[in-house]
Every structure is written in C-alpha cells, then in structure tokens.
Amino acid sequence: MNRRLFLVTAAAGAGCLGAQDQASLPEPIRKLRPMLDGVKPITGEERRSRVEKARRLMSRQDLGAIVLEGGSSLFYFTGVRRAQTDRLFAWVLPAKGEPRWIVSEADAPKDNTAVPMDGAFYIWGPGDDPYPKLALALKDGGASSRVGIEERVRFAVFDGLRKQMPACEFSSADAVTAGCRMIKSPAEIALLQRANDITIECYRAAFATLRDGMTQRELSANIAAAHRALGVSGNAMAIFGKYTAYPHGSIEPQTLREGDLVLVDDGCSVEGYQSDITRTVIFGKPTARQVQVWNLERKAQDAALAAARPGASCESVDAAARKVITDAGFGPGYKVPGLPHRTGHGIGLDGHEWTYLVKGNKTPLDPGMCFSDEPTIAIYGEFGVRLEDCMYITGAGARMFTRQSPAIDQPFG
C-alpha cells in the first residue's frame, strides 16, 4: 500500500484589489501595497519533524495511532487543507510506519497537479460504509488497542469507528496534537510576526478614515479592504461608544460621534498563521473617566506581559492582569464592571487554540508558546476598553509581536 496520494493544499491567500475596487476606496487604503515579499512557508522537513515529535508524545501516552479529519491539525502535520464534508476524509498517524489516508473515490487523485503526499491510502466507493476502511487502516498500522482522537473529529466519525473496533480503547489526542502545536518554531514565529505587522499597517490606514457619522459597518469594510490591499484576507469587528463594553461586539446600528471610543478587534492569516489585535482609541477629545479606565487597562496588559515568564503557570498570568483591575475597584473575579473573560488565548494556525491564560490552568509556560494579551475592562451602559497584542515566550520572558498603544489617542507605538 506504499502508493502516493495527491491532495489539494490551501489557497495561497487573497489577491490584491482590482483597479475598479481600489478607485472607490479612501485614500489611506489606496496607498497600501502587499506585504508578503519574503514570506517563507513551512517546509516539508519541518512538517516531518512535527510528525516525529507527535510519535514521541504518542509513546508517552501509550497511543498506537491518532486519527485526524480536516482542520488546522491536519494542515499542521501535512500541509493539506481540507474542509469537513459528508464524505469521510481522514488521516491516521500510527506510532510506527507510514501515515494512512482514508478518502472517497470522489476525492481520489485525478491528476498530478496537486501537492503530493506520501502514505498508504484506503479508498471507499459510492454506497460504501467508510468506517471499515478507517478501522482497517488502524489495524494495518498496528493500532488496535488504544487510539487517540483529535479534538476536531466529528462524533459521527468516532461513533462509526468504535462500532468497527469495539475492543479498542479510544482516548483524546490533545496531549499529542496540542503538545506539538503549542510550541512554535522560529519559522512559525516569523509567519506570526508578518501577520501581526500586516494587521498593524491595516489599522493605521483604516483609522485614518474615521469620520463623524461613520457606521461600524463602514469601518469594518475599510479594515477588510485594507487587508486585501496588503495581500491577505482579514475580518474585523468594529464597535463605537457604549457598545465597546461588549467583548464580542453588537449588531445594533452604530454611528460614530465626537467623544466616542472606537474598538476594533481583527486579524489576518499568513500561510495559515493568524494575527489577533485589538485597539481602543478615542474619536475626538477623551473625558477624564475614559483616560482613567484606558490607562488602567494598559497597566493590566503590562502586568500580564511581565508575568508571562518560562515556568510561570498560565493562571498566574491571568491573575496578574486581573489583580490590577480588581485593585482599582472593579470585579471581583469575572464580574462586570471588570474583566469578564480570560486574559489570553493561545494563537497559531487558529485564532484561539491551546493553551489559555485563565484561572485553573496550571500549564507552565515554555519558550515558543504564543498568546494574546488582552485583559478587558467592560462597563455596561458606559463603555469598554480592550488592548490586545500577541506575545511569544522566550527564555528571558515574553515579547510582543507589536508595539503596545501608548495612549488613548495614540493607537500605535
């Protein structure tokens, strides 16, 4: 079964704006140019080293194999992007031997124009039950006693598999997949850095378009257009005034007015690696109350950055930021007014991924881990402030990918 399977990888990314689209954009966005020169994709050699690390972790967990469907973990190990559909498409990594692919005839190779992936493959046809093929792939790979299931595998797939292998013990594969993905390589750090650099330039241009009477949808559209002009795709949440107190935004129509806070939370993708940046800035002249709360939020973000050192627990970083906010009379805990959510999340191929800066998570920080640093102060009915920059852990402590906002009227360092 040592044959070659041809699979489709992810699209290279969004193209630049067309001439007609560009002509209708605000001038700050028309001036933007793509920022993808010199981007280096993850190499096949690095992906193979990831597979070997996964196998070492599988040995520690006493797993004979792990099963993945389409998603970020599949892309991480193989470079293959595949959406989940009604046709089973799965990848089996045994503890020893070559990987195994389970695909339908409809997804079997038609020509040699796609990116090749080595490994044995098991094709199921129209009207077939695919799960006997999946079970056979596991058994052929020597894994019939204990198998790890990746977290994005659908229950229907797991259920179909366990009916074929009733004597097998199934377990979570998180210790393997998250154990690999949480620690970023220098190549991954470089891709994350580029994604963050692009989003900052996007924000610079989009914030230059703020005007009295603008709707939040207009600002969101300008941010999306700026990302396209920079050569990537990216989405944006934009909220104004009292709606900035809602961490995940509001669908209520909003119109920008003098004295409103403006909060944007956005990111883009470079070779699959994500940015996630929030800026809160005043439109016009701030009140003393707005400045006071904004400065407190910045102090909380600084506290999390300082606490994020190798060996520190994830929950201790959350506690450091939260203490700043509660000491000022907000909260306590997750109560509002105050910080209603975790201080940060892991980031990489997913905008939110393992592991998290949250109470109860005693996972120690290691060099190569990447997180958002985003304590929020939410005051319902008044306003909210969130400052979010992403950081990576080094042997000497945490470093931001982007310069933090220095002041309420200065969103960029």
Q: Please indicate whether the domains covering 42-181 and 186-400 agree at the CATH topology level.
A: no
Q: Is the C-alpha dihedral spanning 297, 245, 372, 229 positive or negative?
A: negative
CB 147 within 8 A of CB 164: no
Q: How confident is the model at residue 123, as a pLDDT? A: 93
Residue spans of the domains in the chain: they are: 42-181, 186-400
CB 138 within 8 A of CB 132: no
Question: Does residue 15 carry a pLDDT above 90?
Answer: no
pLDDT tens, residue by residue, 53-98: 999 999 999 999 999 999 999 999 999 998 999 999 999 999 999 9
Q: Express as a percent the part of the chain with pLDDT over 90.
A: 86
What DSSP character marks residue 87? S
Q: Which of 31, 32, 30, 34 is nearest to 13 (CA)?
A: 34
- HSE, CB side, 13 Å, CA atoms: give it for residue 41: 16
* Residues shown for the chain: 413
Tokens of 307: 């606490």
Question: Does residue 228 carry a pLDDT above 70?
Answer: yes
d(CA 326, CA 19): 51
Question: Does residue 115 carry a pLDDT above 60?
Answer: no
* Average pLDDT taken over every residue of the chain: 92
Beta bridge partners of 267: 235
Q: How confident is the model at residue 110, as a pLDDT? A: 57
Residue 7's pLDDT band (cuts 50, 70, 90): very low
Question: Does residue 116 carry a pLDDT above 60?
Answer: no
- Strands 120-124 and 100-104, sheet pairing: parallel
End-to-end, the C-alpha distance of the chain in Å comes to 56
Q: How confident is the model at residue 11, as a pLDDT? A: 39
Q: Tell me the residue type at 265.
A: D
SS3 397: strand
Q: How confident is the model at residue 144, as a pLDDT? A: 82
Q: How confident is the model at residue 413, as a pLDDT? A: 84
Q: Determine the topology of domain 186-400 in CATH.
A: Creatine Amidinohydrolase (3.90.230)
Question: Does residue 19 carry a pLDDT above 90?
Answer: no
Q: Determine the topology of domain 42-181 in CATH.
A: Creatine Amidinohydrolase; Chain A, domain 1 (3.40.350)
Tokens of 100: 């195994």
Q: How confident is the model at residue 111, as a pLDDT? A: 44
Q: Which of 62, 51, 67 is nearest to 154 (CA)?
A: 67
Q: How confident is the model at residue 236, as a pLDDT? A: 87
Helix axes 314-327, 288-307, angle to 10 degrees: 160
Question: Does residue 50 carry a pLDDT above 50?
Answer: yes
d(CA 151, CA 41): 25
Q: Which of 181, 179, 178, 200 is nearest to 400 (CA)?
A: 200
- Strands 146-149 and 65-68, sheet pairing: parallel
Question: Does residue 112 carry a pLDDT above 50?
Answer: no
Q: How confident is the model at residue 109, as a pLDDT? A: 64
- How confident is the model over 32-42, as a mean pLDDT? 98
- How confident is the model over 192-217, as a mean pLDDT? 98
Question: Does residue 287 carry a pLDDT above 60?
Answer: yes
d(CA 370, CA 401): 10
Residue 117's pLDDT band (cuts 50, 70, 90): low
Q: Express as a percent the part of the chain with pLDDT over 70.
A: 92
CB 183 within 8 A of CB 369: yes
Residue 5's pLDDT band (cuts 50, 70, 90): very low
